């Protein structure tokens, strides 16, 4: 039996100075639940989720205790990138319903006390957007083409792309146009699929259009916007070639590794000096900030409760903090935290730096473990470090498969750490059920453009986008009345269906509900973090107000500190020990 011994306070003191949130600054400590509409609930039986499906299930989310929902795009779109290719920013795609359905969803959410954040996709439109159709029909140098990024090609007859940039999904980031008679013409830039041409943010018309789109949804009553690819809108002048660093992911982002953490802790790897555009000439250019300063003013006209959230794969964290300066966005997703490996020193280091750097600019830190672009966290944590794919690469047949039991255990523990931290947390639909990634999805079912565009070398993101299970014994596990499902659901989802977990106090659903309720009760979101040391090593422990949060990443059991356990990621034995890969909250 392990000795019960005290956790000791470090001398470092609080890393986040308390900032008392104004009553209307709900977002500073909110738990936000991401809905991926096509995979949440299908009301009309076509196998694709829709807005009425979401409205019908809002009570389940109110019951979970979240403060807000964020909806991935539901706008008119040819769906070349699951709706992140928008053809009309002010209308709902018939696949998902109507504008009246959206209004009903918004009213239903507000009635339940849930805020609603919608997705805004300003880096690119769909190639079916009327502006791009006009641009293709217009001449080089025309005002229509100036809304996008058209350039002449290099080489004889302009037959080579204007620069060497690659699309995030694979292949060149340029596609050549052809005239009505087939004559090859200029090239246009698309950092993602060819069906997603990049806007020219130097164009006043583009700027005005997006301010008008913001107002359109603000006038309808939305509570905020999640801004897609917020670090991509401005490109370096002259569009210079990109000197690609092979360590970086497609969006120029390198996950923190255990090696970096050790270097950092040794003092050798202090926060690198941020340089302008170090991630490449298409990412994190200083000019993006002017755009967000203008947007902050627009949103501010509607009061302090409407927010902007940046999806910006930016590092180091000090550069990310620029997006949440007082006159810019309210929050930015913390992808450095999402990519933190199962290694205590780096977890502690990333949390410390996140809080310090955000605090410096007066912004709350966000925490996120899963979303529609990355392998779900219980599956990531079920893989050995050496097997970790780049986050958006996915896992498929023939790849190393996660240890499901280990992953589920660690996933629950990681969630307790996340929800125990001060700031705001983002959940991805299905994580409250403990859903794993679908890691054996048949390749011929895949729909993410990454799979095709990477010449079948990166499986992509379908494995985290599989429709979620509501009822174990219903068609499509309760997702759709007809049993249709746009991606096949794995058999492992059946036992995790919401109705199976509903009455079980040891279920993942109960854990999330309890954690969210206790987080609210102890005001953890608005709290201050103070690190504790623990004699067990490879244990991360901190105090947030009245609550001690501890996770055991050591591989063996360690003593629990004194106090009453109010929540544990797995049931504990009454022996004063904290088993490996388990987290607890104590008071």
How many C-beta neighbours within 10 Å does residue 267 have? 7
The residues in 294-353 that bind ligand GLC, with binding defined as CB under 6 A, are 311
Instruction: Report the distance separating Cα 265 and Cα 305, nearest Å.
Output: 39
Is residue 228 a contact point for ligand GLC (CB under 6 A)?
Answer: yes
Is residue 373 a contact point for ligand GLC (CB under 6 A)?
Answer: yes
Taking the complex as a whole, how short is the minimal distance between the CB of residue 109 and ligand GLC, in angstroms? 22
- 523: CB partners within 8 A, 6+ apart: 29, 545
| Residue 291 · residue 227 · CB < 8 Å | no
What is the helix (H) or strand (E) element at residue 185, kind and residue range?
strand 184-189
* HEC sequence for 109-145: HHHCCCEEEEEECCCECCCCCHHHHHHHHCCCCCCCH
Q: In the 8-state DSSP scheme, what is residue 277?
A: T
Q: By C-beta, is 229 or 540 nearer to ligand GLC?
A: 229
**Residues 6, 46, 245, 301: which is the catalytic one?**
301
Instruction: Report the distance separating Cα 436 and Cα 425, nearest Å.
Output: 19
Is residue 199 a contact point for ligand GLC (CB under 6 A)?
Answer: no
| Residue 190 · residue 167 · CB < 8 Å | yes
**Residues 119, 195, 223, 228: which is the catalytic one?**
228
Taking the complex as a whole, how short is the minimal distance between the CB of residue 191 and ligand GLC, in angstroms? 8
Crossing angle between the packed helical segments 508-521 and 404-420, to the nearest 10 degrees: 10
Characterize 390-400 residue by residue with b for buried, 16 or more Cβ atoms within 10 angstroms of its Cβ, and e for exposed: bbbbbbbeeee
Is residue 195 a contact point for ligand GLC (CB under 6 A)?
Answer: no
- 38: CB partners within 8 A, 6+ apart: 48, 49, 82, 83, 95, 96, 465, 467, 486
Instruction: Report the distance separating Cα 527 and Cα 425, nearest Å.
Output: 13
Cα distance between the two ends of the chain: 22
Q: By C-beta, is 231 or 500 nearer to ligand GLC?
A: 231
Taking the complex as a whole, how short is the minimal distance between the CB of residue 251 and ligand GLC, in angstroms? 7
Q: By C-beta, is 229 or 551 nearer to ligand GLC?
A: 229
Is residue 192 a contact point for ligand GLC (CB under 6 A)?
Answer: yes
- 444: CB partners within 8 A, 6+ apart: none
Taking the complex as a whole, how short is the minimal distance between the CB of residue 60 and ligand GLC, in angstroms? 24
Taking the complex as a whole, how short is the minimal distance between the CB of residue 448 and ligand GLC, in angstroms? 8
Instruction: Select the residue interacting with ligand GLC from 26, 27, 70, 84 (CB under 6 A).
Output: 84
Let me know if 301 is a catalytic residue.
Answer: yes
Is residue 42 a contact point for ligand GLC (CB under 6 A)?
Answer: no
Instruction: Report the distance separating Cα 497 and Cα 473, nearest Å.
Output: 9
Residue 236 in tokens:
């370096």
| Residue 322 · residue 289 · CB < 8 Å | yes
- 124: CB partners within 8 A, 6+ apart: 85, 190, 191, 192, 196, 197, 198, 199, 229
Site pattern 85..124 for ligand GLC (x: CB under 6 A): ------------------------------------x---
Point out the residue whose Cβ comes nearest to ligand GLC.
Answer: 84
What residues pair up with 559 in beta bridges, in sequence order? 577
Q: By C-beta, is 124 or 538 nearer to ligand GLC?
A: 124
The residues in 425-464 that bind ligand GLC, with binding defined as CB under 6 A, are none
Instruction: Select the residue interacting with ligand GLC from 229, 464, 487, 532 (CB under 6 A).
Output: 229
| Residue 557 · residue 577 · CB < 8 Å | yes
Taking the complex as a whole, how short is the minimal distance between the CB of residue 81 and ligand GLC, in angstroms? 5
Taking the complex as a whole, how short is the minimal distance between the CB of residue 72 and ligand GLC, in angstroms? 7
Residue 99 in tokens:
């504008």
Instruction: Select the residue interacting with ligand GLC from 42, 50, 67, 81 (CB under 6 A).
Output: 81
Q: By C-beta, is 229 or 578 nearer to ligand GLC?
A: 229
- Active-site residue list: 228, 301
Residues engaged in binding ligand GLC (CB under 6 A): 81, 84, 121, 192, 228-229, 311, 372-373
């Amino acid at each position: 039996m392990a000795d019960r011994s005290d956790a000791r306070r470090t001398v470092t003191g609080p890393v986040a100075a308390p900032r008392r949130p104004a009553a209307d600054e709900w977002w500073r400590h909110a738990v936000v639940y991401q809905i991926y509409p096509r995979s949440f609930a299908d009301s009309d039986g076509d196998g694709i989720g829709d807005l009425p499906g979401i409205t019908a299930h809002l009570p389940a989310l109110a019951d979970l205790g979240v403060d807000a929902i964020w909806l991935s795009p539901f706008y008119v779109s040819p769906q070349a990138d699951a709706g992140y290719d928008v053809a009309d920013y002010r209308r709902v795609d018939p696949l998902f319903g109507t504008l009246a359905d959206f209004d009903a969803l918004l009213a239903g959410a507000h009635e339940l006390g849930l805020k609603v954040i919608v997705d805004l996709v300003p880096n690119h439109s769909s190639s079916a957007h009327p502006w791009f159709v006009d641009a293709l029909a217009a001449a080089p140098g025309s005002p229509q083409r100036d809304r996008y990024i058209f350039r002449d090609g290099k080489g004889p007859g302009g037959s080579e792309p204007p620069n060497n940039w690659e699309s995030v999904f694979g292949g060149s980031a340029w596609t050549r146009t052809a005239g009505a008679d087939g004559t090859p013409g200029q090239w246009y830039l698309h950092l993602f699929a060819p069906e997603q041409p990049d806007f020219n943010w130097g164009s006043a018309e583009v700027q005005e259009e997006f301010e008008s789109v913001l107002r359109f949804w603000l006038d309808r009553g939305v509570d905020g916007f999640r801004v897609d690819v917020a670090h991509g809108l401005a490109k370096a002048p002259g569009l210079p070639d990109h000197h690609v660093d092979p360590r970086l992911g497609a969006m120029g982002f390198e996950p923190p590794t255990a090696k970096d953490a050790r270097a950092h802790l040794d003092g050798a790897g202090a926060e690198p000096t941020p340089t302008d555009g170090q991630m490449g000439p298409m990412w994190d250019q200083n000019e993006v900030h002017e755009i967000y300063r203008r947007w902050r003013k627009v949103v501010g006209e509607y009061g302090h409760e409407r927010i902007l959230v940046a999806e910006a794969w930016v590092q180091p964290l000090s550069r990310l903090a620029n997006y949440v300066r007082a006159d810019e966005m309210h929050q930015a997703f913390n992808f450095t935290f999402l990519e933190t490996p199962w290694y205590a020193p780096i977890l502690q280091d990333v949390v410390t730096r996140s809080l310090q750097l955000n605090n410096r600019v007066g912004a709350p830190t966000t925490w996120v473990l899963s979303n529609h672009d990355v392998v779900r966290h219980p599956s990531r944590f079920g893989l050995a470090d050496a097997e970790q794919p780049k986050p958006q690469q996915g896992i498929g047949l023939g790849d190393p498969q996660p240890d499901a039991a280990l992953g589920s255990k660690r996933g629950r523990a990681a969630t307790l750490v996340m929800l125990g931290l001060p700031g705001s947390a983002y959940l991805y639909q299905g994580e409250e059920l403990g859903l794993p990634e679908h890691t054996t999805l048949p390749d011929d079912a895949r729909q993410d453009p990454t799979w095709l565009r990477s010449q079948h070398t990166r499986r992509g993101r379908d494995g985290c986008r599989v429709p979620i299970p509501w009822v174990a014994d219903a068609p499509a596990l309760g997702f759709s009345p007809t049993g249709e499902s746009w991606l096949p659901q794995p058999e492992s989802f059946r036992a995790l269906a919401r109705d199976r977990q509903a009455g079980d106090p040891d279920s993942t659903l109960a854990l999330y509900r309890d954690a969210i309720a206790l987080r609210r009760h102890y005001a953890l979101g608005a709290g201050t973090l103070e690190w504790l040391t623990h004699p067990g090593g490879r244990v991360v422990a901190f105090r947030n107000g009245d609550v001690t949060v501890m996770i055991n990443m050591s591989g063996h059991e360690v003593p629990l500190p004194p106090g009453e356990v109010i929540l544990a990621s797995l049931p504990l034995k009454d022996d004063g020990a904290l088993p490996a890969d388990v987290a607890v909250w104590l008071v």
